[in-house]
Structure 1
Amino acid sequence: MRRSNLDDLHLFAAVARERSFTRAAARLGLSPSALSHAMRGLEERLGVRLLQRTTRSVAPTVAGERLLARLAPALHEIDAGLADLAEARAEPSGTVRVTTFGYIAQTILEPRLPRFLLDHPAIEVEIHIAQELTDIVASGFDAGIRFGDTVERDMVAVRVGPDLRTVVVGTPGYFERFAPPETPADLARHRCLCHRLASAGGLLPWEFERDGREVQVRVTGPLIADDDGGLALAAVRAGAGLGYMMEESVASDIASGRLVQVLDDWCPPFSGCHLYHPSRRQTPPALRALIDALRWRGPLR
């Protein structure tokens, strides 16, 4: 298509919507006579009348209506593409509100967020730490970060971390006093360090799976905490009981022999951390920049 035709089609759409050369010309920054001349030239090149003119009004002909119906979505996509380019050239700015919980704040945000803030000085990030799941739309958050299997399906989810695993660990000294459990049911005979969600009130079960069989165990023990595992981990390292921990939190303890892992074949990996946000046609530039900074691209090589 000739460039002049594309330009004139854009002018035609404006006249057809406004149904006035004067109003369309004012919106486009042209004179009414120049706009009218451009429309006559377009009609001559296409060989069809697109606008019905009277002394008081302008309206699309039947052919003009058909053209406008096909043309409007295409022009909208062109305008949207140009707007995206303008946003890409500009420095993203504004506030991004994110809800997550302590473990993810420590393992995902602490290593990456400071660099993001330095790279994007015009963006302000507000982090809300809460153990319970939050309705991000109702609560006014732009995004949340949670384990992938807890994200609602109507959300757009972007992986920001690897698959994870919870493991059961205790000290060698603890296992000198108590025989290691061979199945999840054996945990009933052990001192387990428990975790409670502050909002839910009840103790969180320890979850296991093997050969497609899922098992939840309600454990008991000498400690109940609603923090993100720091107190329980300290108690485990002291030999006070068994802990149900994120594997990466105790990987160095296991490697050094300070802690011993049990029930390994009952602890498969699960979907890791995902940033999620409502499905929308246009993601705000500041949120888009944060997503790009946090997106999981695999282990650093």
Structure 2
Amino acid sequence: MSSSSGDAVTSARPGRWRGAGLVLPLVIFLLLMLVLPMIRMLIMSFRPVDEYGQAEPGFTAGQYRRVFAESFFSQALVHSVLVALVVTALCLVLGYPAAYVLAHRRPGVVRTLLLLIVVSPLLTSVVVRSYGWSILLSGNGLVNRILAGSGLRSQPAHLLGSTLAVVVSVTHVLLPFAIIPLTTALRGIEPNLTRASLSLGAGPVRTFWRVTVPLSLPGIAAGVLIVFALSMGIYITPRLIGGTNQPLAGIRIYDQVSSVYDYPMAAALSFVLLVLTGVCTALFGGGLRWWARRLHG
């Protein structure tokens, strides 16, 4: 009995070491490309700076005090959270119907075409898509021409540089990240469950809210967390559409690096943004888990 258990342990060890060997390259890659740069950036965030913004040897928490004391940075963090919440809500509202259609459409040309339309923005550069929105929202762009042709406005609307334009363009950029996990979750729902609900007297609306939505919560959670995290740190699209005056944390970090050359300040603001994003996503995750427990009884 003891010899057989010892043989089992001995035979399990090579498999465990093989698994560790397969994971080791990924661990090394993450250490070199993610963990070590973040540690170096964390150290940089505590460096004192001279009058020219250059880092000096030493230790100070002055950059973190500035993040919360100066409205230039603190308001950017608050505005980033608000924009991220709006973008996440829009992606969920717009993405759920599209994902529902994709999940329930039979395989064929139409479904393939719809899937291609959803995925195709991911195959195009974010810069190209952002410039496309800048052309559409410009003074003589398509949107203003439609507004003028319909008689709603006599003068071109100043859409570029507005928060509305930023929200619309960022929603377009991040919408596929909500549709894809929602489609996967909806396709995993057993059709017999909805049929059973309908046969037991529940209408389509009640079946949707009591059966489909609870079973698709993993996809909702994945889409919400991905979109929110990406929209918190996005800066290319808001900078091209809204300009440098948009009070977003990502643009503030970019300006500190490229214009002010205050790397410790940029590093401190980056870590505050990272922690804030982590706290918000944790709250989202907790809220969704509470909702799931309440729906399931």
TM-score with structure 1 length normalisation? 0.17
Higher relative contact order (CA 8 A, sep 6+): 2
Structure of larger gyration radius = 1
TM-score with structure 2 length normalisation? 0.18
In proportion to residue count, which structure has more strand?
1
In proportion to residue count, which structure has more helix?
2
